Amino acid sequence: MMATGSRFILRSCTRRVGVLAWAGLPVFLAAGGAARAGEPGGQIAAVQPAINSGDTAWVLVSAALVMLMTPALAFFYGGLVRRKNMLSVLMQCLMILCLISLQWVVFGYSLSFGPGNSLIGGLNWAFLKGVGMTPNADYAATIPHQAFMIFQMMFAVITPALIIGAFAERMKFSALCVFTLLWATFVYDPVAHWLWGVGGFLRQWGVLDFAGGAVVHINAGMTALAASLVLGRRQGYPDGISPPHNLPFAVLGAGLLWFGWFGFNAGSALGCGSLATGAFVATHIAGATAGVVWALLDWTKHKKPTTLGMITGMIAGLAAVTPASGFVTPMGAICIGIGAGIIPWFAVTYVKALLGYDDSLDAFGVHGVGGIWGVIATGIFASKAVSPAGADGLLYGNPGLLWIQLKAAIITMAYSFVVGFVLLKVVDAFVKVRVGEHEERVGLDLTMHREAAYTVID
């Protein structure tokens, strides 16, 4: 009876809030437990959690959608750099995709989600030992454990890829490979464990991060800021840098990112039902709202709405709704989208110019600032009426959640910035993170990869 009940609860909520979900157990047992106990299979599930084909199908498709986001990001970023650096950005994204996939199965997954303490998982699941087809009820009770593992792998991949935006056009490729591995190990894996892993301290505090506002966006965004400081400005920045070489590629990338984001957020329901649907809807609405808001701000300040502004707003909105997507109403998503249009716009327009750092493709301005807003906004707009597995935010009479979210945002910000900064300095001491002046002038495609993205002659 108990176990049947727990199975039901776990199916209907995410692993991110699994601890909180237990609070609803007595309510469930009173309401529907008796009816379900009579169902065929109910008692079998008590012994071994049953795999649900619908849930598994959705999570596997979602993993594929999130995988697509890294090549999508490659084109989003690639379109924004100069012609001579196009391949370098594509190559950085692809190398991260392959490298982190390996890191994840060797020890990354274990450090993030394996049994450990409140700060980091252990090495029990290294080389995917024991991570098989039997569901792990702590995370997702109705899908094979490996489905959860591969879905999470795609998050671990795209997060370091986001940082590329800060150091594009001047990072040495060998340094990028070393830094990415170190960053995944010392920053991504622990932070993922804090918020999502069993025993993680932020998870125990009741921090809500549905699909990675802190784990992915704040984390990558703050290290991006550190990277822009460690590597310094590009030669000629700001006025001597040519405009984006191919905005249509950036639009293609942004469109595919949006598409992939349905897997990112709705997939984080780890099942296919009302929670996934709610996250899907909130995701779409926030992205759309922020796109409109950014366009309007450009229209007001620069007299014309810009294509680059519109897609930047879309991405900022999608990033901001990520931690909130499973917990907010469609109207809450609109409010988050409005904030995501305004706050990153100010960061990119005024703060960057004022402080003079060269966050080349605004990885901090869009993902970092958007993510910070999203994590805080979750503390404002989250509602138990949307997902009983969540919590009520400020608007629903619980200022405590806002405080918890704020603390989580600050802790993540500080950790990613400081450790990201230190790791870059360490790599710099050994292999120099920045390419030489001549290499930067000629472009990274030729100097790092001995290739050219485009031929001039047929």
The one among 55, 362, 392, 440 contacting another protein by CB under 8 A:
362
Which of the ranges 107-115, 280-288, 307-315, 423-431 carries the binding residues for another protein, by CB under 8 A? 307-315
238 is an interface residue for another protein by CB under 8 A: yes
**C-beta of 420: minimal distance to another protein in Å?**
23
CA distance 195 to 367: 18
**Residue 127 DSSP code:** G
CA distance 71 to 448: 19
244 is an interface residue for another protein by CB under 8 A: yes
The one among 12, 289, 312, 416 contacting another protein by CB under 8 A:
312
348 is an interface residue for another protein by CB under 8 A: yes
236 is an interface residue for another protein by CB under 8 A: no
All residues at 6 or more sequence positions from 273 whose CB lies less than 8 Å from its CB, including other chains: 11, 12
Cα end-to-end span (Å), the chain: 72
299 is an interface residue for another protein by CB under 8 A: no
Question: Helix H segments across 243-348?
Answer: 247-266, 274-302, 307-321, 330-346
The one among 132, 204, 301, 355 contacting another protein by CB under 8 A:
301
355 is an interface residue for another protein by CB under 8 A: no
Which of the ranges 10-18, 58-66, 136-144, 235-243 carries the binding residues for another protein, by CB under 8 A? 235-243
Q: What values do phi and psi take at 171, rounded to 5?
A: -90, 135
128 vs 308 by CB, closer to another protein: 308
105: which 2 tokens?
């199965």
Q: Do the Cβ atoms of 314 and 306 come closer than 8 Å?
A: no
126 vs 297 by CB, closer to another protein: 297
40 vs 300 by CB, closer to another protein: 300
265: which 2 tokens?
């957020």
458 is an interface residue for another protein by CB under 8 A: no
185 vs 306 by CB, closer to another protein: 306
Q: Do the Cβ atoms of 366 and 225 come closer than 8 Å?
A: no
**C-beta of 230: minimal distance to another protein in Å?**
22
**C-beta of 299: minimal distance to another protein in Å?**
11
Amino acid at 358: D
349 is an interface residue for another protein by CB under 8 A: yes
239 is an interface residue for another protein by CB under 8 A: yes
CA distance 435 to 448: 9
Q: Tell me the site size for another protein, rule CB under 8 A.
A: 17
CA distance 344 to 290: 10
306 is an interface residue for another protein by CB under 8 A: yes
CA distance 312 to 307: 9
**C-beta of 360: minimal distance to another protein in Å?**
11
- CA distances (Å), 63 to each of 12, 45, 84, 262, in order? 19, 26, 32, 10
Q: Do the Cβ atoms of 371 and 364 come closer than 8 Å?
A: no
CA distance 274 to 271: 9
209 is an interface residue for another protein by CB under 8 A: no
**C-beta of 453: minimal distance to another protein in Å?**
19
174 vs 306 by CB, closer to another protein: 306
361: which 2 tokens?
């493709």
8 vs 373 by CB, closer to another protein: 373
169 is an interface residue for another protein by CB under 8 A: no
298 is an interface residue for another protein by CB under 8 A: yes
Q: Do the Cβ atoms of 396 and 382 come closer than 8 Å?
A: yes
User: Interface with another protein by CB under 8 A: which residues?
Assistant: 238-239, 243-244, 298, 301-302, 304, 306, 308-309, 312, 345, 348-349, 353, 362
